[in-house]
Structure 1
Amino acid sequence: MKVTEAASPFLPLCQRLFPTKLAGLSMALLKATALELAILAGHLLLYPSGITQERRTGHPLPPPDVATELPTEAKPPVVLLHGFIDNRSVFLLLRRNLAQHGRQHIESLNYSPLTCDIRTAAELLGRHVEEICERTGHERVDIVGHSLGGLIARYYVQCLGGDSHVRTLVTLGTPHSGTRVAPLMNAHPIVRQMRPGSAVIEELTGPAPGCRTQFVSFWSDLDHLMDPLETACVEHPDLLAQNVRVSGVGHLALPVHPAVATGIRQALDIEVSGPRAVSRTGGGLTVA
């Protein structure tokens, strides 16, 4: 994946932020770092606009005597779920991209920044999904989760029976096997739950026979929040999953970069018609 030449204006800042590591950085990493800083600055400006929950769209189904079936070509609603200490504003560009390519019903959910338990957040997500299905008349939805949002959605799907309501779960830079980055943040309970070997991570390694949701996980070779990098891959023998490698893009850029958005659209367009519709874990595509 190619990123425009944006590194040079940010080099002095990079030198101040990473003085001991700059000598060994590749140009690709410098570009990715510059892009991350630019996205962070833009996101800080947009953050206030995403603090409140968005207005719900769609209408309840009409009474049974006048109910009509949804068109067979109607695509499921897409639910967007943000990451740790973030809100729905991170999905502004992705939401617009999906809408421009035929997704008529897209909802971005906020969970409280005070959330301290992945299980509780997953239960809340489940109630939202059921409400969306009831309101729109669809039996299932698609979910795109960034970072922690993907882990919350996976817990809902795999441990709370959410596979009956979620057709496809796309995760972006999600620590499926736990991440060791930023040990100083262990004071926060939800950060501890994202560590390798935590009770939540161990639950997700347990058996999941018959899980009906298909998983597509995007992981980046320059994701500074995934340690190790491959923790962002779904590795589970019972799950239908595809791991997509993204080159040259950092953690914050995953829900923003247009090439990743194209990959997400393609993932959401996959129709599951049987056990061979997507490959088991271990395979992988590359977005480049």
Structure 2
Amino acid sequence: MRKLLLTAITTVLLAGLATPAKADVLPVPSAALALANAAAHPDTSPAGSNDWSCRPTAAHPRPVVLVHGTVENMTFNWFTLSPLLKSKGYCVFAFNYGQLPGRYAGLPGSRLAGGVAPVPTSAGQLEAFVDRVLEATNSSRVDLVGHSQGGMMPRYYLKFLGGAAKVGHLVALSPSNHGTTVDGLAHLPGVPELLSTGLGPSVRDQIKGSELLRKLNAGGDTVPGVRYTVIQTRYDEVVTPYTSAFLTGPKVTNILLQDRCPLDASDHLSISFTSPASQYVVNALDPAHAKPVRCDLALPAVG
């Protein structure tokens, strides 16, 4: 009964708030429905993704692989961006990674939280998924779009698992590239261990100064042949300080939302659902046809 009710509510909200779709183009739903959708349809591919018969076009020759964040999954994280990119003509793919069965509760309605395993383990799963996408689409490279750990973990794949030869562009929303101080709490004795025990080994990997991050960032933030775009918000309360998300190196573009939209209140969770951040993603993937970013209302947590 509960599942049927949630499904009905989600269907009604989608009908009322979704952007009308043209023929063969999926609607782009409101970000505020992401949690309701994840509860009603747990562990399912987000709309627009994982059509394994999709073939890239000349306009968009590289498939896009979406990489969710820590204690998230593809159903929730890509509720907005997946159908948006599909409506733009991309072949879009998403997957769950870093799940540890039996240990962690996921988002409402989901069976398992993702992104909790050690970062190298998750990077190996990304490698396998990218290979599957390349084979299915007969492509030589993909573009990656990731949120939080999903923007940092792919750099391990690029640097240590041969991913640089298979990726054209990494677009990252609030990535944990240089780790987080957890609002200063990470400096307290025992806090990293406590967080790792409670949320998973990937949290320890993302603490500022971790062994994983020292290895990842040694010798420079980037690898040759790959473009990088980081999209960050000043109000990130998870990756702290927010500037630790930014990269240095060749072919890097760092974007702070508030430079263009000073009243944008996006935080770490909501950034993957808001209109300004989404437009920056679209522009990064197709800079030749970039459009001005409109500063719509963006609220913490819900987008």
| Shared fold, TM over 0.5 | yes
Report what 1:47 is aligned to: 38
Counterpart among 61, 70, 82 of residue 95 in structure 1: 82
Report what 2:254 is aligned to: 243
- Distance in structure 2 (CA, Å) of the matches to 1:106 and 1:253: 21
Report what 1:256 is aligned to: 273
Indicate yes or no: 2:230 matched with 1:230. no
- Supply the RMSD in Å over aligned alpha carbons: 2.7
Taking only the aligned residue pairs, the percentage that are identical comes to 27
Q: Which moved more, 1:218-227 or 1:206-215?
A: 206-215
- Distance in structure 1 (CA, Å) of the matches to 2:159 and 2:286: 21
User: For the Cα contact (< 8 Å) 2:69–2:148, is it kept in 1?
Assistant: yes
Indicate yes or no: 2:126 matched with 1:125. yes
User: For the Cα contact (< 8 Å) 1:172–1:217, is it kept in 2?
Assistant: yes
1:58 is displaced (CA, Å) by: 2.9
Letter in 1 for 2:233: S
1:56 is displaced (CA, Å) by: 4.0
- Distance in structure 2 (CA, Å) of the matches to 1:122 and 1:287: 34
User: For the Cα contact (< 8 Å) 2:50–2:94, is it kept in 1?
Assistant: no
Paired residues for 1:264-283 under 5 Å: 264-270=281-287
- Distance in structure 2 (CA, Å) of the matches to 1:246 and 1:155: 26
Task: Note the alpha carbon deviations across 1:235-257, whole angstroms, 9 max, x for none.
Answer: 3x4x4211110123111111100
- Distance in structure 2 (CA, Å) of the matches to 1:88 and 1:210: 26
Change in Cα spacing, 1:43 to 1:210, as seen in structure 2 (3 Å) is closer
- Distance in structure 1 (CA, Å) of the matches to 2:94 and 2:54: 19
- Distance in structure 2 (CA, Å) of the matches to 1:102 and 1:116: 33
- Distance in structure 1 (CA, Å) of the matches to 2:195 and 2:70: 12
- Distance in structure 2 (CA, Å) of the matches to 1:100 and 1:222: 29
1:102 is displaced (CA, Å) by: 2.2
User: For the Cα contact (< 8 Å) 2:34–2:79, is it kept in 1?
Assistant: no
User: For the Cα contact (< 8 Å) 1:233–1:243, is it kept in 2?
Assistant: yes
Paired residues for 1:194-213 under 5 Å: 194-207=206-219, 211-213=224-226
Tell me: higher relative CO, structure 1 or 2? Use CA pairs within 8 A at least 6 residues apart: 1
User: For the Cα contact (< 8 Å) 1:143–1:169, is it kept in 2?
Assistant: yes
Normalising to structure 1: TM-score of the pair?
Answer: 0.70
Report what 1:4 is aligned to: none
User: For the Cα contact (< 8 Å) 1:116–1:190, is it kept in 2?
Assistant: yes
User: For the Cα contact (< 8 Å) 2:73–2:96, is it kept in 1?
Assistant: yes
Q: Structure 1: where are the runs of 5+ without partners?
A: 1-37, 62-69, 272-285
User: For the Cα contact (< 8 Å) 2:60–2:89, is it kept in 1?
Assistant: no
User: For the Cα contact (< 8 Å) 1:95–1:106, is it kept in 2?
Assistant: yes
Q: Secondary structure at the match of 2:178?
A: coil
User: For the Cα contact (< 8 Å) 2:159–2:223, is it kept in 1?
Assistant: no
1:189 is displaced (CA, Å) by: 1.7
- Distance in structure 2 (CA, Å) of the matches to 1:47 and 1:162: 30
1:42 is displaced (CA, Å) by: 4.2
User: For the Cα contact (< 8 Å) 2:65–2:144, is it kept in 1?
Assistant: yes
Q: Structure 2: where are the runs of 5+ without partners?
A: 1-29, 101-115, 186-190, 259-264, 296-303
Report what 2:205 is aligned to: 193
- Distance in structure 1 (CA, Å) of the matches to 2:239 and 2:208: 11
Normalising to structure 2: TM-score of the pair?
Answer: 0.67
Counterpart among 108, 112, 117 of residue 94 in structure 2: 108
Q: Secondary structure at the match of 1:116?
A: coil
- Distance in structure 2 (CA, Å) of the matches to 1:47 and 1:250: 20
Paired residues for 1:59-208 under 5 Å: 59=53, 72-89=58-75, 90-103=77-90, 105-114=91-100, 115-181=116-182, 183=191, 184-187=194-197, 188-207=200-219
